[in-house]
Structures are given as structure tokens and as C-alpha cells.
Amino acid sequence: MTDSDNLELSRRRLLGTVGAAGAAGLVVGAAGGAGISAALPGEDTAGAGAGGAPALTTVGATSVMFHGKHQAGITTPLQSRGHLVAFDLAPGAGRKEAAALLRRWSVTAKALMSGKAPAEDTGVALDAGPSSLTVTFGFGRTFFDRTGLTSRRPAGLDPLPAFSSDALDPRRSEGDLWVQIGADDALVAFHALRAVQKDAGDAARVRWQMNGFNRSAGATAKPMTARNLMGQVDGTGNPKPTDPDFDRRIFVPAGGGGAPEWMAGGSYAVVRRIRMLLDDWEKLPLDRQEQVIGRRKSDGAPLTGGTETTELDLNKLGPDGKLVIPDNAHSRISAPEQNGGAAMLRRPFSFHDGIGPDGTPDAGLLFVCWQADPLRGFVPVQRKLDRGDALSTFIRHEASGLFAVPGGPAEGEYVGQRLLEA
């Protein structure tokens, strides 16, 4: 047996193993009903039919449910590719056109997320499975005036305050409509982006569009917290779907609290394009880098000891009598206990758009965070970070968006129907 036979064998065993799981049609319930299933792709997906063709590996075969209490793409595990795209309604387009657009988008998102190709397809994602595709839709503040729905605009969409360190480009900020696309395959994600753009037709025009990525599934031995392009373990402090107050913090409750009923099960997304000044950052010695965050770079453990999941000891002093986790450490300043319990679910993509006009890398974090109320999530934390975060020297907020992301559609419903047809 040659070495290459050997590898081929192990490949086949790998496919076989996962194939069996796929055939069993596993469905894993994610928090709040955005289910994930590892299944064979639909008949419209070439390359892996049910009739004896080999099954997809879990990368391709995993699909996320479109219908549910919440939209997909919020508690869904990070995907390796992402596109963010904002649209403005076309001049003359109003509520009727917007409703028709959301209906088209919902049909497309549902089909693509289950691995089916829409009619007159570009074919770009043929062969591939759904690859954990999610397509998530949100409304910006300006949407409500343009559609005559100003009276139904939620307080959650009140403009974010200006922060002193902001360097925002309005052309890459905000927008009437926002779509977040994530998938574990680049062609599947691109394919969905083009389908969403095509559906926009004459009703809406792209305002801005950004591309992001995360680590590939399988690049690490076991699922691990993400790293960002500064090399930090990023996501540790996130609330967990199993936390008792997770839903209350991240999702708008049904009925009451002053939130409009059409936002029940929804969430607010704050989107910030945060450039990292990597040339400066990479010159900082490791120990100083670690003090900027308050955690070890190697494994994300607090500088006060333990492992990644150990709580920060914010009062611990070092042998020099100074705080081990400095006063201006990012982890200290952003921690819920320092912000009256303010919490958000950070679910970012990294971005890298080559070299900027100034010769430094145009790279950083497409920071996306989710919360039931921006005033109890992003706003108070960013207020504090804006003033005292050691990280500030190494980052620049270049664009910003705030979007109301309605709850997931029930069977037969389209996203936003409860706003647009009430």
C-alpha cells in the first residue's frame, strides 16, 4: 500500500464517518430555535445526491434553519466567511416595494440556507452544500421615514452617541436595510451575496458592502474561541446561550417593556468597522500587548491566573503593588460588572482589504454585537472604552451602523412581515 493510497483511504473513512451522521439527519437545537442540522443537501445541489453519491463532510452538509423564534446568524457559531451589505431604498420605493423585497429576500434566504438554488441561478455554489449559510436582515433608522413608518420606529434605533475617538465614514455607515451573510465556504457566501443583490432589483441600491472572515472549520484540533488579527483570543467573555439571563440581554422580549411587538424575538445589531493599526501593534512587546487586554495572548487566560474561562480578578495586586490587570485594560473596562451589567453578544468577522492608501494594512475587525437594547449593551461600554481603553491607541472606528433585526419568521411568514403588514 503506497502512502497516497493511505491518505485516500483516510479521506474516504472521513467522508464515510460524517456521511453516516449526515444521513441520520442530525438537528441540533441552537438557543432560541435557530436549529442547525447536518444533512444531505437538497436535490437541487449537484454533486451529492441521496442516491449513492458520497455525503458531504460536515463543513458542506451543515445547514441552519431559516424559520424560528430568532433569525439565524445571531447565536449561530461563527462562520469562516462573511459579507455585510447595506442598502438604501431607491428613490420612489416605499413600504410596498420594501415589503415585496423582504418577501423576495426571505424566499431566497430560506432556499439557499437549505442548500437549494433559486431559479435562474448563477451556479457559483453548485456542488457545495449549504455550508452553515445564514442570511440575516435588519432595518436602519432611515428605513422608517422612507416607508412612512416613522411612528413605528423603535427607540432602540435612536442614533448612537458620537464618541471622541470616532473617525466614521458616513458613506460606509448606516443604511435603510442591512444584510449579514455568513457561511463556511467562500463561494456559498458570495453566491448568497449576489442573490441578495439581484433580488434588490429596482427597489434598493447597495450603500456599502464589506467582506470578512474567521478561522476555517477544522484548522484547529478542537472547536476553540476565535482569534482576531491582533492574535488575541476574542470572544471569551461573551454571554452563553445557556446563561439564565441570555435571552433577556440579547433578544427583545415579547409583549411589554415598551418594545414594539414586531421586534419580539428580535435584537439590535451594532456594526463597527474597526481598523487595527497592526504595524504599531506588532511592535509592542508581548507583555505590554497582554496588559492592553488584561489576558494572556497564548490562551486568553486572565493575567491574574487560571485558564481561559477563569474569572478576571480585578482587584489583585502584583508584587510591585500595582493592579495585575491594569486600570485601562480592555477586559476590565468592558466587563459587565464595570458597566452596570451591560452585556452584548459579540459576533465579529475579521477583515483584510489589502494595503490602505497610507501604506498600512487595511485590516481589523468587522465588529458586530447583538443586544436587546443598545443603551444597555454597546453604548455604555463604548462610552467607557472611548475614554480609557488601552486598546484605543491601536484601533480606529471607521464606520458604524445600528440596525433593528426583527425576530425570526414563522413558517409561511417573511422577515419583517409583522412590521410591514400590520
Q: Closest separation between CB of residue 191 and a copy of itself, Å?
A: 8
Write each residue from 27 to 46 as x if it is in contact with a copy of itself (CB under 8 A), else as -, in one continuous string: xxx--------x-------x
- Of these partners, ligand HEM, a copy of itself, none, which one is at the site of residue 414 (CB under 5 to 8 Å by kind)? none
Residue 257 cell numbers, joined: 417593556
Contact 193, 85 (CB under 8 A): yes
Contact 136, 105 (CB under 8 A): no
Write each residue from 71 to 110 as x if it is in contact with a copy of itself (CB under 8 A), else as -, in one continuous string: ---------xx-----------------------------
Judged by CB under 8 A, does residue 54 bind a copy of itself? yes
Alpha carbon 239 to chain centroid, angstroms: 15
Buried b / exposed e across 170-186, counting CB within 10 Å, b at 16+? eebbbbbbbbbbbbbbb
Dihedral sign, CA of 368, 370, 374, 377?
Answer: negative
Q: Could you give the count of Cα atoms lying within 13 Å of 118 in the half-sphere of its Cβ?
A: 21
Q: Closest separation between CB of residue 133 and a copy of itself, Å?
A: 11
The only residue of 45, 75, 132, 228 in contact with ligand HEM, by rule CB under 6 A: 228
Q: Closest separation between CB of residue 410 and a copy of itself, Å?
A: 22
Radius of gyration for the chain, computed over Cα atoms and rounded to the nearest angstrom: 22
Locate cell 415589503: which residue?
Answer: 99
Judged by CB under 6 A, does residue 367 bind ligand HEM? yes
- Of these partners, a copy of itself, ligand HEM, none, which one is at the site of residue 231 (CB under 5 to 8 Å by kind)? a copy of itself
Q: Which of 81, 361, 86, 87 is nearest to 212 (CA)?
A: 81
Q: What residue spans of 259-304 are helical by DSSP H?
A: 278-281, 286-293
The conformation of residue 89, written as its DSSP 8-state character, comes to E
The only residue of 208, 367, 403, 414 in contact with a copy of itself, by rule CB under 8 A: 208
Write each residue from 239 to 278 as x if it is in contact with ligand HEM (CB under 6 A), else as -, in one continuous string: ---------------------------------x-x-x--
CB closer to ligand HEM, 101 vs 344: 344
Helix (H, G, I), strand (E, B) or coil at 222: coil
CB closer to a copy of itself, 135 vs 157: 135
The only residue of 231, 241, 336, 380 in contact with a copy of itself, by rule CB under 8 A: 231
- Of these partners, ligand HEM, a copy of itself, none, which one is at the site of residue 295 (CB under 5 to 8 Å by kind)? ligand HEM
Query: Hey, which residues between 259 and 278 contact a copy of itself (CB under 8 A)?
Result: 278
Alpha carbon 396 to chain centroid, angstroms: 20
The only residue of 155, 254, 317, 355 in contact with a copy of itself, by rule CB under 8 A: 355
Judged by CB under 6 A, does residue 232 bind ligand HEM? yes
Judged by CB under 6 A, does residue 293 bind ligand HEM? yes
Judged by CB under 6 A, does residue 234 bind ligand HEM? yes
Write each residue from 128 to 167 as x if it is in contact with a copy of itself (CB under 8 A), else as -, in one continuous string: xx-x------------------------------------
For residue 94, count other CB atoms closer than 10 A to its CB. 14
Judged by CB under 6 A, does residue 236 bind ligand HEM? yes
Residue 247 falls in the annotated catalytic set? no
Q: Which of 71, 36, 64, 44 is nearest to 414 (CA)?
A: 71
Q: Closest separation between CB of residue 81 and a copy of itself, Å?
A: 8
Binding footprint of a copy of itself, residue count (CB under 8 A): 85
The only residue of 211, 334, 382, 417 in contact with a copy of itself, by rule CB under 8 A: 211
The only residue of 222, 242, 255, 320 in contact with a copy of itself, by rule CB under 8 A: 222
State the DSSP string of 229-259.
TTS-B--TTPPPTTSTTHHHHHSPPSS-TT-
**Which position among 88, 184, 185, 234 bears the catalytic label?**
234
Name beta bridge partners: 38: 26, 62
Contact 125, 191 (CB under 8 A): yes
55: left (phi over 0), alpha (psi -120 to 50) or beta: beta
Kindly list the distances between the CA atom of residue 387 and the CA atoms of 183, 238, 364, 375, 409, in Å, as whole numbers in the listed order: 36, 22, 20, 17, 40
For residue 308, count other CB atoms closer than 10 A to its CB. 16
Q: Which residues of this chain interact with ligand HEM, rule CB under 6 A? A: 228, 230, 232-237, 272, 274, 276, 293, 295, 300, 330-331, 334-336, 344, 364-365, 367, 378, 381-382, 385, 391, 395
Q: Which residues are designated catalytic?
A: 234
